Structure 1
Amino acid sequence: MLTSFQSIKSRYTAPVWLRFFGEMLTSLTGAMMGPFMVLYLHEQLNGSVMIPMLIISLQPFADICLTLIAGRVTDRLGRRTAILIALLLQAAAMTGFVFADQAYVFALLYVMNGIGRSLYIPASRAQIAESTPESRRSEVFAVINAIYSAGLTAGPLAGMLLYKHNPVWIFALDAAALFSYFLVAALKLPETKPIITAGTPAFSGSFTIYRPVLLLLLLSLPISMLYAQTETTYRLFSKNMFSDYLSMLTIYSAVKALFSFVLQVPLVKATEKLSMKTILLIAYICYALAAAGFACSTSLTMLLVTAAVMTVGESIGLTHIQTFISTLAPPHLLGRFYAIYGLHWDISRSIGPLAGGMILTSFGGEVMFYALAVCILAACLCLTYTIDRLEQKVIRKMNG
């Protein structure tokens, strides 16, 4: 038994175990808030549709403005410093939500949280890549996603109970979790940023070095746009699809998270020998089917089938692409590559809620999700013609 425990412990490095702990701590409280944030703002702001969408768009807009700076910060100051600053900012923002009651205050807090996210995401991903052998990176990213999904399984159920009692408790618990993560990280998190030698350039003078990650960013936009709609406008669209929409949203969020928790690591391990082209082809087809599923799901069974298909796509595609980016990036630009790629989430979450809200009110949710399915398939076709060149670039880098 002790030998088995030591084997599991030695499988991952200290930064990876700390990330597991932080993800476990914050995913549950974050999941309590996720499904209900739009509804909370909708109620707090007198039933407005567009103002909550505008406020929610401010966080990713702040991310867009700060992400490239954040990538430079994490590459210069180090992963540990960036992570600690990020956790403090996010904890302060969640604390502010406990007391907020005006639209401009919600907006300011969303911007603060966006700054924290823009620092945390590239720094934490770069740290995982630097502290994990390449052969095990996809596995580590999959375990992190599985832990996050475990929080998503229980979070919405607990969140619904707290939301009905007093929504501010959700923000208070999230703030406490983030601050606890900060304290443990301050005491235990080592620095993993590689030492820059005299021969390593601090900046890349050629814009062409970023072309591969910019291409991946562009072709990932339809995927993140789908997520942006499921996180915002679908909450309102579901009111017309289901009589007890709040329960349906809660069940969907919990079951999808359970699917991800159960399937994430097995799917990643089963596909790690496939080419990146095959992996992304499977993932994009699953996402297109899921987008169509959201448009036509009128029963719980159809909605859960949609959740299962989307889980397969994200388990395979989103996990392997994190490892792929770590092989594309020069070591001294790893934080910036992750930051640049992460922009597709920020772009979609910035313009997605407003665009989705306009389409929803003008044409209906069915049109919006079917259009997304078409866009995802178009991006898939483009990707199949370009990913081979990127894979060859990785092979040349590894061989030379």
Structure 2
Amino acid sequence: MTKNPKSSFRTNVSGVIRDTVMKVRDRYHPIVWVHFWLTMSRCITGFMMYPYLVVYMTEQLGASVVAAAGAISFPSFLSMFFKLWAGNVSDRFGRRPVLLFVPMLQFLMLTGMMFANEVWHFYVLLTLNGLVFNLYTPAESAQITDVVPEQERTEAFALNNVAINIGATLGPLLGIAAYHFNPTLIFGGEAAVTLLTAALVYFKVPETKPDHVEKPAEQVSKGSVFRGLGSHFPLLLLIVLTVPAFMVEMQMNSTMPLYLKTQFVDYLFIYGTLRTTTGILTVVLQMPVTLWSKKWQAKRVVLVGYSLLVAYSLFYGFTPFFWILVIAEACWTLTDMLLFPRLKQIVSVMADPKVRARYFSLFDISLSVAKMTAPVLGSMVLVQYGGKALFGGLAVLLLLAGVCQVILVSRVLSPDSGKKEQAPEMTG
């Protein structure tokens, strides 16, 4: 009997797909995959909820736009101070207790939102939800650092970035459908995900906190540039220099529609197209770009990342034509894929194993500062001086921050600093 060519072709294709899936699955630690799926599900429901909170409170509860926006901004303000010590909890008590109990507490708060009928209810519940979640994220990053070798951590953090962008792409679309069908389903969906998170942590995630870690004898050498300035000074400087990069992202979520309105008639369509394109590109290209750039030194990744951000700002400020903006979005997408996972890997190298969660919690302050300052300052500059001043000023700020960041990373990861960057190794 002769084989059916079509059947043979399908068998070969399915075999290649199966082998590829197995290789990708085996490439990363099982805990990394658990956090990938949890992050993706959490971000899908999170992006279902947060874009429509203002609409929900104004339409369903009769709140003013200012009061509704305040309910979202207020938790970010408190979280910045909470992050100063949030990471200490999992460094002291372990990763597993935090990863287990935080979702259970969030379930109570999200369930409360389903029955909330006053704006102040949302102030309280959103604030509590945001504060306890700030315990979760540094524990998650610290656990990934615990189980993944240093040379593979950029890939692990990049995989998490893929999960976030899947949520950012699918969440708003699902949120529209849920809001029109029954708005309280949005809160119920996220509450269900918190229970799923707690269940998976209970059954699939062991404790990974290192025990009896010996501190290196010469964590900072005599010739180090940071001598006498405190052991945490490099991290604090890294945080400050990362704020301008996150300010670009915050402009996308705040002033960007207002700026595009001054340039295009169909600005909402253009804004939506640019945002959706960015999310899809990140999901598709994140891991190939990460693997391609894995052999680059950290200072090279930082230099390229900040250079792309400068180009993004200049394109938006001085050549606001649609196809140029598409190129600008490509610059941002590459930055998102290259820079932010590598910065988290740098933080993992800088941190002593005893304070990993604390370092990740402190590093997150850079995003909190950007959330607090960028929308207000950006809107003020845009209204008073226009888009050229806004994006031109961002370009200058990013150029200065990028030069300083390259110098910082070079010295932090130099042999004299005691934090030498390891040569990457390919696995799997």
TM-score class normalised by the smaller sequence: 0.7 to 0.9
CA deviation after TM superposition for structure 1 residue 180, in Å? 1.6
Corresponding residue to 1:19 among 27, 30, 35: 35
Name whichever of 260-269 and 46-55 sits farther off: 46-55
Going by fraction, where is helix more abundant, 1 or 2? 1
Of the structure 1 ranges 309-318 and 295-304, higher mean CA displacement relative to structure 2 is found in: 295-304
Q: Per the alignment, do residues 113 and 262 of structure 1 end up closer, same or farther by CA in structure 2, a change over 3 Å counting?
A: same
Q: TM-score, normalised by structure 2?
A: 0.81
Backbone CA RMSD of aligned residues: 3.3
Structure 2: distance between partners of 1:263 and 1:83: 29
1:157 equivalenced with 2:179 (yes/no): no
Query: Over residues 117-151 of structure 1, what are the superposed CA-to-partner deviations in whole Å (9 max), with x where a residue is unaligned?
Result: 31111110000011111221111111221122223
Aligned to 2:281: 259
1:333 — aligned with what? 355
Match of 2:188 in 1: 172
Partner of 2:413: 391
Instruction: Please tell me whether residue 372 in structure 1 is matched to residue 407 in structure 2.
Output: no
> Quick check: 2:309–2:395 contact (8 Å CA) kept in 1?
yes
Unaligned runs of 5+ in 2: 1-14, 218-227, 423-428
Deviates more, 1:279-288 or 1:296-305: 296-305
- Structure 1 residues 49 and 310: alpha-carbon distance in aligned structure 2, compared to 1, 3 A threshold: farther
Note if 1:80 corresponds to 2:96: yes
Q: 1:222 to 1:3 in 2, by over 3 A?
A: closer
Residue type of the partner of 2:248? L
Is 1:108 paired with 2:130? no
Task: Give 1:108 shift.
Answer: 2.1
2:355 partner amino acid: L
Could you say what secondary structure the match of 1:208 adopts? coil
Over 3 Å counting, the alpha-carbon distance change for 1:42 and 1:267 in structure 2 is: farther
- Supply the distance in 1 between the matched residues of 2:107 and 2:265 (Cα, whole angstroms): 36
C-alpha contact (below 8 Å) 2:47/2:171 kept by paired residues: yes
388-397 or 22-31, which deviates more: 388-397
TM-score computed with the length of structure 1 as normaliser: 0.86
Kindly indicate whether residue 169 of structure 2 is the aligned counterpart of residue 147 of structure 1. Answer: no
Counterpart-to-counterpart distance in 1, 2:362 and 2:102:
17
Amino acid in the other structure paired with 1:25: S
1:60 paired to 2:76: yes
Q: Which amino acid aligns with 1:185?
A: V
Give the corresponding residue for 2:8.
Answer: none
How far apart are 1:28 and its partner, in Å?
A: 2.0
Q: Would you say the 8 A contact 1:153–1:255 is kept in 2?
A: no
1:1-53: per-residue Cα shift (whole Å, max 9, x none)? 57766554443223212112212322222233454455656767879665455
Alignment of 1:292-331 (within 5 A): 292-295=314-317, 301-331=323-353
Q: Percent identity?
A: 30
Q: Is the contact made by 2:213 and 2:354 (CA closer than 8 Å) also made in structure 1? A: no
Q: Partner letter of residue 34 of structure 2?
A: L
Deviations along 1:295-315, whole A, 9 cap, x unmatched? Answer: 568665444333221110111
Within 2, Cα distance between the matches of 1:199 and 1:93? 40
Instruction: Say whether 1:209 aligns with 2:225.
Output: no
Indicate the residue corresponding to 2:48 in structure 1: 32
- Distance (Å, rounded) in 1 between the aligned partners of 2:151 and 2:124: 42
Higher mean displacement: 6-15 or 105-114:
6-15
1:57 touches 1:354 (CA, 8 Å); kept in 2?
A: no
1:316–1:8 distance in 2 versus 1, CA, 3 Å: closer
User: Which residue of the partner structure matches residue 227 of structure 1?
Assistant: 249
2:370 to 348, 356, 359: 348
